Structure 1
Amino acid sequence: MSAINLSAGVRSNLLSLQGTAGLLEQTQNRLATGKKVNGPLDDAAAFFTAQGLNSRANDLSSITQGMQNGMKTIDAASKGIDSISTTMETMIGQVRQALQDPGSEPPESAGITAPADDSTAFVVEAAVGGGAAFDVTIATGDLSATDQAANAQTVVDAINGDANFQSNNLTAQLDDAGTGFTIVNESGQEVVLTEGASSGGTIDAVGDLTDARQALMNSYNDLRTELNALSADSGYNGNNLLMGDALEVVFNELTGDDRTSFTVSAKQADGTAFGNVTADRLGGAEGDATTFASNVNLESRLEALQSGVSELRSLSSQLGTAQTIVENRESFTKEMVNTLQAGADGLTLADMNEEAANNLALQTKQQLGQSALGLAIQNDQSVLQLLR
């Protein structure tokens, strides 16, 4: 097939129009996509650099979702601690009210007869709650040979002045006749008299539980059950920091030794695991007649509950610190994502104002080129007219 010969003027204008059309297509593509680099052919270095930046930004964006889940898990545990603390304070109130109730008379031993003379030393020995025995011995020189009432008073004074009897909340009191005595047990534990005039005798741990204390004990146990339920229900998305779970919050997109993360768990002051946050763990053992009928046992329970409240405050502070760490890291990661995306956009996005101006200029140039091409063709036609 023979080639079509174009005049120099037509060919020059045609090449100019083709170049303008190519530039116009490129400009319109940039306006349509908003990017000046749409593929490696546009600018390989910029394209692959932006691709790497966007890839890391996407990875970090995915990680922020894990951080948000972590913060919600911590928040759920914190709210659980707040409610548990309120419950603990109410339990403490129940114990305080029980202490204010007079209660029943503390249990006491059967009557013990004082020595009638000074022929032998007099011994009273006791063991509390199965512990080691301790005693008071009245030597013969401290006893009267004829006055039993005086001897009874001597024994009572000796028992009430003994450090072991005092520390175990055991006291002696004279009987109505004044010639004997009983031992009153306010220890909250069973007492066995192992030697002396009442050897083999026992004293009950506590007296009868009054109706008022019974009602307070029932309320206390109801609160205790609710405390355990609150702890069990303080989880989020399968993780419960109050029931011994540990949560790892990942902070970057790397793996192995390069990965950074933060593990959140309930810990004691010494850094060891706190364990399950339950009533028993916080000093709120189940209330029973032995506890609520004894002021000594109630005081011990009150002290344990107050210690538990202190532990809850420490645990709440730990979770608050963990929440701050994760929140700060999430904020940092979001800023990093914005920085990476801005860097990628700077490499690939087109300046829309510039491209719009280019588009208008190229359209004008195209129109001028078409006019010039028309004039060149008219020149060729004029030559043809001369030949005719």
Structure 2
Amino acid sequence: MAVSLSSGVRNSLASVQDITAQAAAVQSRLATGKRVNTAVDNPVNFFTASSLNNRSDQLKGLLDGISNGIQTIQAASKGIDGVTKLVNSLQSTVKQAQADAAQNRPTKAGTALATAAEAALTSKSLKDIALDKKLNDDDAVTTNNTATASSSGNVGIATANVNIGLSIVAGSTTYEASFSSANATVRDLVNEINKSGIATAFVDEKGQLNVKGTGSDTLQVGIGAATAGPGAITDAQTGLANANFGLVAGDRTTGVTSPGITSAVRSNLIQQYNDLRTQIDELAKDSGFNGVNLLQGDQVSLVFNEKTGKNQNKLDIQGTSLTSDNLGITQATNTQLTGFTNFQNDADLDKATEQLNGALTSLKSLSSTFGAQLSVANTRQDFTKGLADVLSTGAANLVNADANEEAANLLSLQTRQQLSQTALSLSSQSDQAVLRLF
């Protein structure tokens, strides 16, 4: 049976019910923190916020891949730094070998060009007597080259031979020249030999002419004499005048080498050099991250957006095979072999220095490449983090509730609810007035 309510009671009851519904909605917003919880609340904001949050989640999912890629690049960069230090150590080893050059020079000493008797006659040292002696036989007595108080003496080259020729070979380098012998002395010959750049000459305290190579290659020295320069050089190519200086005749063709040309110091450095070279390969093998090694030719791809196909944005980083061979650093040996560095040879040590300088240049270039790619990866990582935050914030602005506002609304609704209940009570009292008639 339906109950008949007065108009006042019905209006007060409807007001209480409306306020209660509003209060429940506000309480729901406070509990969830959102003012749009379903598509019913606000379809446009709900679906827009869902799309923004989905993209934000996808971008955040890419951050793990970007982070792994960055660590892979950094591991390779650390490997390059380590290899660079090893190459610097190789340079130090080569420099030690080069510092031992004085023990590894082909040297030939002639017989004494001065005697004690001459020293007594001239009151000069054997060295000065030898240096001052003329090359040509100016007294026309080839057997009497003695220096006296009035004559400097000579080494006995025929007077008709007015040109002196030089022919010097060091390894694959040849130096040939001639000069006038008129009034020329042994000192002039020494100076001419020193001009070659591949050999040096000096007269020692015993009065001996010494010829030493500037490198470790086998040295051939020929001295000749003739009426013309070309003829003097031709004569020098067979070393016919070598005997005048106490050098073995024919040294130009047979070669002048020093005993013990193999340096023990350089031999000991070979193993050190090769051990360091091996460590370059081993260090490069250990420069990977999570199974990917850019120094062993691996590739890593960093995906920067959530799209696929042509719209996908990614960075493909191709590694390189970093080995001592690829850097052009050849193995060291004690002898000349194809593809190896002979530690006993100055020219090979110079080549080793060039190899190491080239290796450092390659490492700098590779480091620069990885550095640029790392910069891109770091920039995109920061950008992706920032963009994901922007998307999440944008979505929150569309659906999140203002806690302060909703709390104030709830307080206001609670007050209105109390007032409505009071109004309902007053409306009921007017209906109860009829009871006073009984």
- Fold shared, TM-score > 0.5 on shorter chain: yes
Judge conservation of contact 1:63–1:251 (CA < 8 Å) in 2: yes
Amino acid at match of 1:229: E
Equivalents in 1 of 2:81, 2:393: separation in Å?
A: 42
Equivalents in 2 of 1:382, 1:13: separation in Å?
A: 18
Amino acid at match of 1:172: Q
Equivalents in 2 of 1:52, 1:384: separation in Å?
A: 64
Q: Deviations over 1:296-339 (max 9, x none)?
A: 21211111111000110111111111111111111111221121
Q: Per-residue deviation at 1:178?
A: 3.4
Q: Per-residue deviation at 1:170?
A: 6.1
Q: Per-residue deviation at 1:16?
A: 0.8
CA change 1:164–1:96 in 2 (3 A) is: closer
Judge conservation of contact 1:107–1:184 (CA < 8 Å) in 2: no
Counterpart in 2 of 1:302? 353
Q: Deviations over 1:99-126 (max 9, x none)?
A: 1113545699xxxxxxxxxxxxxxxxxx
Amino acid at match of 2:383: F
Using CA pairs under 8 Å that are at least 6 residues apart, name the structure with larger relative contact order, 1 or 2.
1
Q: Per-residue deviation at 1:33?
A: 1.0
Judge conservation of contact 1:171–1:183 (CA < 8 Å) in 2: no
Counterpart in 2 of 1:75? 74
CA change 1:256–1:184 in 2 (3 A) is: farther
RMSD of aligned residue pairs (Cα, Å): 3.0
CA change 1:257–1:185 in 2 (3 A) is: farther
Amino acid at match of 2:250: G
Equivalents in 1 of 2:351, 2:374: separation in Å?
A: 35
Equivalents in 1 of 2:80, 2:326: separation in Å?
A: 14
Counterpart in 2 of 1:115? none
Equivalents in 2 of 1:50, 1:185: separation in Å?
A: 91
> Which residues in structure 2 correspond to 1:21-36 (within 5 Å)?
21-36=20-35
Select which of 344, 366, 369 maps to 2:395.
344
Select which of 363, 369, 375 maps to 1:318.
369
Q: Per-residue deviation at 1:233?
A: 1.0
Percent identity reads 39
Matched, 1:172 2:220: yes
Which structure 2 segments of 5+ residues have no match?
Answer: 109-156, 176-197, 199-214, 222-238, 336-341
Matched, 1:285 2:330: yes
Q: Per-residue deviation at 1:385?
A: 3.8
Equivalents in 2 of 1:299, 1:23: separation in Å?
A: 91
**Greater share of residues in strand:** 2
TM-score, normalised to structure 2, is 0.66
Counterpart in 2 of 1:255? 308
Select which of 275, 280, 292 maps to 1:239.
292
Larger radius of gyration: 2
Equivalents in 2 of 1:183, 1:344: separation in Å?
A: 92
Q: Per-residue deviation at 1:165?
A: 4.7
Amino acid at match of 2:301: E
TM-score, normalised to structure 1, is 0.74
Which structure 1 segments of 5+ residues have no match?
Answer: 109-148, 187-206, 267-274
Equivalents in 2 of 1:177, 1:297: separation in Å?
A: 29
Number of residue pairs matched by the alignment: 316
Judge conservation of contact 1:170–1:185 (CA < 8 Å) in 2: yes
Judge conservation of contact 2:106–2:219 (CA < 8 Å) in 1: no
Q: Deviations over 1:239-284 (max 9, x none)?
A: 1111111211111010000000112234xxxxxxxx3111111222
Amino acid at match of 2:360: V
Counterpart in 2 of 1:53? 52
Select which of 201, 215, 225 maps to 2:268.
215
Amino acid at match of 2:402: D
Q: Secondary structure at the match of 1:287?
A: strand
Equivalents in 1 of 2:171, 2:426: separation in Å?
A: 131
